[in-house]
């Protein structure tokens, strides 16, 4: 089973990747009474976790125990949350508030946009309505994973990605979602609200604990392979750097937000330099060069964004081009099981 998954994992098809990206970046549907806040997913295309659960029962069972699911019920009861909301003049966190974009998933229910759950399957795999049928259909009744024709499989994946699905094999794209929330790129939320300015997020440590749900292609819930963890480590540090640079570019004053983004960028840059000392590829060289050439300071948005764009392109290319099997030289840098965030489901 694992081998099958790996075959699946490392077969990039760039033409559709570009298309998928366009779909993934679609803004909330106009015409809907959508939130004034910038939602990360188009609510009109959100199917909701129950719809995924019709087939992915075990993934949903794992997810329900994570902070991602629990925040839906618990956030508004928390003292710290109430304080942040009060600082920002927010009355109801589930109404049209600055909390919606990261803590909740909104969908269209009876013609109205409203939060239906916490951070869901679709927060990481893309809003699902346009690909939910296609992505798991091996070619009609009676056709199985084993008997599916190879060209049908290629077309199925291509169509699903073009319709906005973010497949696990697209490590850069799936992980970019994590950083879009976990770096907390919102100056007002941090400086005025007093929200934590992003955590010490690490892609390996934070994906291999409670979030881990490798329960579809393999059972039990296997840890990612050593090779996959190397890829996660490198792609994760590149993303950290990219999002920190974008975060600094958005900063307007020297306060908690800007300082924390600059610290994040500086730490990620150091980590990337270490990686570059052990693993030589043109993409890693490009990342280190782009990061080294830019000043981490206010009023430097154009340069910071240009550097972030270069890092993004190189990191995505890197993520699609290698499988990590030759990168054992960085094993000492990759966090071990004692660092995993939360307990993985059995
Ligand atoms: C009708 C059943 C069904 C539903 C509903 C469904 N899936 Fe799937 N899903 C499948 C099948 C079957 C596969 C395995 C496809 C394969 O073997 O290539 C799959 C595979 C996946 C994969 C791994 C794909 C890969 O590239 O290896 C992800 C991620 C996924 N589904 C997410 C979702 C999400 C998110 C939802 C809800 C929006 C959802 N699925 C709803 C049947 C379903
Ligand atoms: C840009 C994304 C983002 C937005 C917007 C956001 N949060 Fe968060 N929030 C996070 C992340 C990510 C965490 C987890 C912290 C971490 O990474 O360790 C978090 C954690 C928290 C915590 C601590 C959680 C706990 O269980 O102790 C509170 C409280 C909180 N947020 C409240 C709010 C409130 C209230 C709002 C709206 C005013 C809000 N957040 C908006 C991303 C966001
Ligand atoms: C926080 C982001 C996130 C959420 C939420 C999430 N996934 Fe995933 N999912 C991932 C990542 C990352 C991987 C790849 C993990 C790896 O390579 O080790 C993945 C892998 C998968 C796979 C392939 C697993 C396997 O057995 O190899 C399936 C299927 C899947 N997800 C479905 C779902 C469904 C269904 C939900 C909702 C119940 C969901 N995911 C929620 C990020 C997420
Ligand atoms: C849509 C925004 C969003 C995305 C995407 C996202 N997260 Fe989160 N994550 C949050 C928020 C918000 C919290 C805090 C929830 C709370 O406690 O209230 C959180 C909490 C967590 C926690 C629990 C932290 C703790 O303190 O115990 C882990 C682990 C985690 N996320 C890992 C990931 C990983 C790995 C990815 C990507 C594969 C990811 N997240 C993607 C918003 C997001």
Q: Does residue 103's CB lie within 6 angstroms of at least one atom of ligand 4?
A: yes
Between the CA of 68 and the centroid of ligand 4 the distance, in Å, is 6
Whose Cα sits closest to atom 11 in ligand 2?
Answer: 182
Residue 124 beta carbon below 6 angstroms from any ligand 4 atom: yes
Distances in Å between the alpha carbon of 263 and those of 183, 201, 230, 241, 311? 12, 13, 24, 10, 18
- Our mutation pick for probing the ligand 4 site, out of 81, 119, 196, 212, counting the most ligand atoms within 8 A of Cβ, is 119
Q: How far apart are CA 255 and CA 231, in angstroms?
A: 34
Distance of CA 196 from the midpoint of ligand 2 (Å): 7
- CA nearest ligand 3 atom 20, residue: 168
For the beta carbon of residue 75, count every other beta carbon within 10 angstroms: 20
How many C-beta atoms surround the C-beta of residue 106 within 10 A? 26
Q: Phi/psi at 175 (nearest 5 deg)?
A: -80, -25
Instruction: Report how far apart, in Å, the C-alpha atoms of 22 and of each of 74, 122, 159 are.
Output: 34, 16, 14
Which pLDDT belongs to residue 37? 60
Cα 256–chain centre separation: 24
Cα(31) to ligand 4 centroid in Å equals: 30
Let me know: does 62 contact 345? Beta carbons within 8 Å: yes
CA 181, CA 179: separation in Å to the nearest integer?
5
Cβ contact 113:107 at 8 Å? yes
* Structure confidence at residue 218 (pLDDT): 81
pLDDT given for residue 10 in this prediction: 33
- 55 within ligand 1 shell (Cβ under 6 A): yes
CA-closest residue to ligand 1 atom 25: 167
pLDDT for 97: 85
Buried b (16+ CB within 10 A) or exposed e, 166-205: bbbbbbbbbbbbbbbbbbbbbbebbbbbebebbeebbbbb
Exposure class string for 288-324: b at 16+ Cβ within 10 A, else e: bebbeebebeeebeeebbebbebbbbbbbbbbbebeb
User: Which pLDDT belongs to residue 307?
Assistant: 98
**Predicted pLDDT of residue 8:** 37
Whose tokens are 């190397």? That residue is: 230
| pLDDT at 16 (0 to 100) | 34
Q: Which ligand is nearest to the CA of 204?
A: 4
From first to last of its 346 residues, what are the pLDDT tens digits of the chain?
343 333 333 333 333 333 333 333 333 333 333 345 689 999 999 999 999 999 999 999 999 999 999 999 999 999 999 999 999 999 999 987 899 999 999 999 999 999 999 999 999 999 999 999 999 999 999 999 999 999 999 999 999 999 999 999 999 999 999 999 999 999 999 999 999 998 899 999 999 999 999 999 887 899 999 999 999 999 999 999 999 999 999 999 999 999 999 999 999 999 999 999 999 999 999 999 999 999 999 999 999 999 999 999 999 999 999 999 999 999 999 999 999 999 999 9
Residue 71 near ligand 4, beta carbon < 6 Å: yes
Distance in angstroms (rounded) separating the CA atoms of residues 291 and 274: 13
Radius of gyration of the chain (CA): 20
C-alpha 100 to ligand 3 mean position (Å): 22
């Amino acid at each position: 089973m694992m081998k099958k998954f790996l075959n699946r994992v490392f077969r990039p098809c760039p033409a559709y990747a570009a298309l998928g990206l366009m779909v993934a970046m679609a803004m909330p549907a106009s015409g809907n009474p959508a939130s004034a806040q910038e939602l990360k997913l188009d609510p009109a295309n959100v199917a909701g976790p129950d719809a995924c659960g019709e087939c992915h029962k075990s993934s949903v069972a794992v997810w329900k125990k994570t902070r991602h699911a629990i925040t839906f019920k618990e956030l508004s009861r928390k003292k710290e949350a109430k304080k942040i909301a009060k600082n920002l003049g927010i009355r109801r966190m589930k109404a049209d508030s600055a909390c919606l974009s990261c803590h909740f998933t909104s969908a269209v229910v009876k013609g109205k946009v409203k939060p239906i759950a916490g951070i869901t399957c679709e927060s990481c795999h893309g809003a699902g309505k346009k690909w939910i049928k296609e992505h798991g259909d091996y070619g009609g009744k009676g056709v199985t994973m084993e008997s599916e024709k190879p060209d049908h499989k290629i077309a199925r994946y291509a169509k699903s990605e073009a319709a906005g699905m973010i497949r696990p094999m697209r490590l850069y794209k799936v992980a970019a979602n994590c950083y879009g929330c976990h770096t907390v790129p919102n100056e007002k939320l941090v400086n005025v609200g007093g929200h934590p300015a992003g955590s010490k997020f690490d892609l390996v440590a934070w994906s291999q604990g409670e979030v881990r749900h490798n329960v579809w292609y393999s059972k039990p819930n296997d840890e990612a392979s050593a090779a996959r963890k190397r890829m996660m480590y490198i792609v994760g540090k590149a993303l950290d750097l990219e999002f920190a640079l974008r975060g600094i570019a958005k900063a307007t004053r020297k306060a908690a937000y800007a300082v924390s983004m600059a610290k994040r960028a500086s730490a990620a840059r150091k980590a990337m330099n270490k990686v570059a000392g052990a693993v030589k590829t043109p993409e890693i060289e490009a990342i280190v060069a782009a990061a080294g050439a830019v000043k981490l300071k206010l009023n430097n948005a154009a340069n910071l964004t240009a550097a972030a764009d270069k890092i993004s392109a190189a990191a995505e290319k890197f993520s699609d081009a290698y499988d990590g099997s030759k990168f054992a030289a960085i094993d000492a840098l990759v966090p071990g099981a004692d660092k995993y965030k939360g307990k993985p489901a059995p």
